[in-house]
Amino acid sequence: MAWSRKSAMFASLAVALYLLGLVLRNQQLVTVAVVLLSFLTWAAFRTTNADVSSSGRRMEDDNDTGGIALQNLVALRRLSSARVFEDGEIDVSIRIQNKSNLSKVLEVRDRVPEVMRIKKGANYVLMELGPQRETEISYTIEAPLRGFYTIGPVCIRIQDTFGLFHNEREIHLYDDFLVFPKMEDIKDALIKSRVPKIFTGAVNIRNPGEGSNFYNLREYVPGDAMKKVNWKATARSGGKLMVNEFERDAVSDIILLVDSRSVSETGPVSRNSLVYSTRAAASLAQYFLSRRDSVGLVVYGDEIVSVDRDTGKKQLYVILTKLAGAMAKGNTPLKVVTNRIMPYINRGSPIIILSPLEDDPTIIEAVRDFRSRNFDVTILSPSSLEFEFDARRLDRTGYELLKTERDILMSELRGLGANVMDWEPDMLLNTALSGARGF
Amino acid sequence: MQEDFNGGIDLVEKKSDTAHLYDGKTVRSSAPSRKKAAGRMKGSSEIPKDAIPEVHVPSMIESLFGGPIVSKTKFLPPDRVVKNLQMSAAIILTLLSIVTFTVTPVSGTAWFWLSDVINQPAIGALFHILLIAMGFIGGMYGIFQREQRAILISYVILILVTIRFAGSKVEFGIDLLPDGEISQKLLLISYALFLVMYIELTSGVIRFSMLDKSIRTGEVYVMNVKKITSQYYKSLMITPLVAGLVALITLMINLIIPFIVGLLGSDSTAKRLEESVELTSVYGVALGTAVVFMIVASAFAVNLPARLAQMRENSNK
């Protein structure tokens, strides 16, 4: 049982008046003190009656109705969806059951993550719940930022009617949900874009497959189509059936490199380089996967997290999940990442780097390495300077100076043959990609 | 409630509105032009005023108590419950002021002593009445304006007028009041009850105003408002009665102890106890308080309330 400020004030006033009454031999003061103490005692007695033994479980698991001893309050929660995109909504329902034979006045607060916004209803309810009764609370939350989130615990408070004492319990009922970065439809932008060839059609990659360009010869294996048999080569090989292999040119292998170093979170919580990078990566992944390309993802911050190249809708959700969980941490240089992944990427694969290009002296060297191995490098750089300047955390002189440094770096990268796009805040991804024209 | 609870992916794309996350800054719909931005820039490089967060430096008293003693809250116009509580508080305050005036003589107070020193006893009496009037007016203002500071001042004043060196004998401000011991004690208890009720009702006015505001701003949802308020009204009736009864037992200890001793067969001892100065004085009340609250404390020590509650909750299961 916890004391409120009011009860503490009552108690201290009662004690003070009681002692003062004894010192001054004033019955009036002592009487007031006795009444105050009796008032407090009765309220405490009533609050102790209000037991809040409780438990909770998800509504989906509601098949066991057997009660634990003193399991008088039960909370069950249900979410409309466990996965949404940024700015999506989730409906939450909580069923509160009073299994005791006493009526209770309850304050119920379902704890939602701080960044979430209550769109409809309330997660904080004051109610009178009769004996053996149940009620349901519903509310809708809006998820403005990507990430892994947890709703819960459910806090239940019972207090006396005067608000002097309260009993509080947390029902350890948690529900996890995932907020994916939101995606833009970038089809139009990429059709209009002239320069990054990778976006305008299939690229031949040095892997065998069902393409049109000759790759090499190999021995016939059962199952090979007879039209693939190279009769001239068969004749030269002394009786061994040889077949032609072709380059797989129907799809490209696209590698998305997302910079999630701590510097990428510079700016307001909802408008920073990492937020923009993850949204862009999600949009690009969706676009390429819908074209049946193979997409891989590397997120680097304090460690290098990668998703191997693959195709299909499942791959999109694997990538989205990794992007949702990308945290701004650490300071792994790009060169370390390129050294790590280079052996596993097919030469000529398009590489898209999403980075604010800050605080990393190895960027130029890393891009040079990629270019020297004939990788098609595109850099989409959300400008954290603009975020800082817009949030008025950067003065004009600092902004101008840093902007000049950034422009010089971008020019150098362009000089290495990379397509560099400067992505300013509030610029739609479509616009940023369209801006790639004319480099 | 929706029927689909399978956790399907919600692909609803909505217009972004994350302004609440960064101080209400609105998101521009078009891409900013660097040239335009350069054009907007002012010559001065000083930090804009709104970029500096407002910092409230707590006063010494606030630091001591860990926060503002009386919080500043703006309320919406009172609803029916608040209006009822305001009326009840106003009635109780009126009664309290009258009872305070009747049961609290000016003699024994600090201002009486001062006025006596300057040989102007009328000033002391006037000051005494003025204090009660200030407590009344301040309280009324606080109740109807829901101004917590005024309410707090009225508490202090109405308690301050009772602080006086009284001697062991009960004295009243008006001579016409009854001389009988029981009636005197009943009057004292009613004064104490009015004071406690006044404190509770004024606190109720603020509490229900805050609740009403939270309901109307959607911060909290209240189910069965009527039941909750009716429970509060019920408690307002029952709790003072219980407190009054306990106080009566405590104050009557000078009659109860001799009665018990008399039952045990020692009539002369009972008679002597009944006439004992110690038992009839404030120290008798102190003894009564100690006895009553020792019984209450032992009930809490053996967790009696919780055990009773457990029995009631598990009955008929």
The interface pTM score, or ipTM, of the predicted complex is: 0.76
Asked if B279 and B255 touch (Cβ cutoff 8 Å), the reply is no
Whether residue A124 is predicted with pLDDT greater than 60 in this model: the reply is: yes
Mean pLDDT, all residues of chain A: 82
B296 → chain A, closest CA residue: A41
- List residues bridging with A94 in a β-sheet: A77, A137
List the Cα angle A112/A115/A119 in 5-degree steps: 70
CB contact under 8 A, A28 and B34: no
Q: What is the pLDDT of residues B180-205, one digit of tens each?
A: 778 888 888 999 999 999 999 999 99
Mean pLDDT, all residues of chain B: 77
Asked if B92 and B135 touch (Cβ cutoff 8 Å), the reply is no
List the Cα angle B155/B226/A36 in 5-degree steps: 25
Q: What is the pLDDT of residues B81-109, one digit of tens each?
A: 999 999 999 999 999 999 998 888 888 88
How is the beta sheet containing A419-423 ordered, strand by strand?
Answer: A304-310, A294-300, A253-259, A350-354, A376-382, A419-423
Helices (H), A344-420: 363-372, 384-390, 396-415
What value does the mean pLDDT take over residues A338-349?
84
Asked if A76 and A58 touch (Cβ cutoff 8 Å), the reply is yes
Asked if A433 and A186 touch (Cβ cutoff 8 Å), the reply is yes
- pLDDT score, position A161: 83
Q: What is the pLDDT of residues A83-108, one digit of tens each?
A: 999 989 999 999 888 887 777 788 88
Q: How confident is the model at residue B66 (pLDDT cuts 50, 70, 90)?
A: low
- pLDDT score, position B302: 84
A126 by DSSP, 3-state: which?
strand
CATH code reported for the domain at A54-178: 2.60.40.10
B176 by DSSP, 3-state: which?
coil
pTM of structure: 0.68
Which of these, A72, A139, A140, lies nearest to A102 by C-alpha position?
Answer: A72
Q: How confident is the model at residue A61 (pLDDT cuts 50, 70, 90)?
A: low
Q: Write down the domain spans for chain A.
A: 2-49, 54-178, 187-202+250-434, 208-247
Q: What is the pLDDT of residues B160-179, one digit of tens each?
A: 998 887 665 566 666 666 67
Which chain A positions have a beta carbon within 8 Å of B172's beta carbon?
none
For residue A336, CA distances in Å to A333, A342, A353, B5, B192 come to: 6, 10, 14, 44, 78
- pLDDT score, position A204: 52
| C-alpha gyration radius of chain B | 30
| CB nearest A87 (choices: B14, B185, B306) | B14
Which chain A positions have a beta carbon within 8 Å of B10's beta carbon?
80-81, 83-85, 88-90
- List residues bridging with A297 in a β-sheet: A256, A307
Architecture of domain A187-202+250-434: 3-Layer(aba) Sandwich (3.40)
What value does the mean pLDDT take over residues A403-425?
88
Q: Of A3-12, B135-144, B275-284, which range is least confident?
A: B275-284
CB contact under 8 A, A396 and B45: yes
Which of these, A284, A215, A205, lies nearest to A251 by C-alpha position?
Answer: A205
Which H or E element spans position A246?
A: strand A242-247
Distance CA B293, CA A324 (A): 60
B14 by DSSP, 3-state: which?
coil
Give B4 to chain A, closest Cα distance, Å.
7
Which tokens is A67 given? 């009660």
CB contact under 8 A, A31 and B191: yes
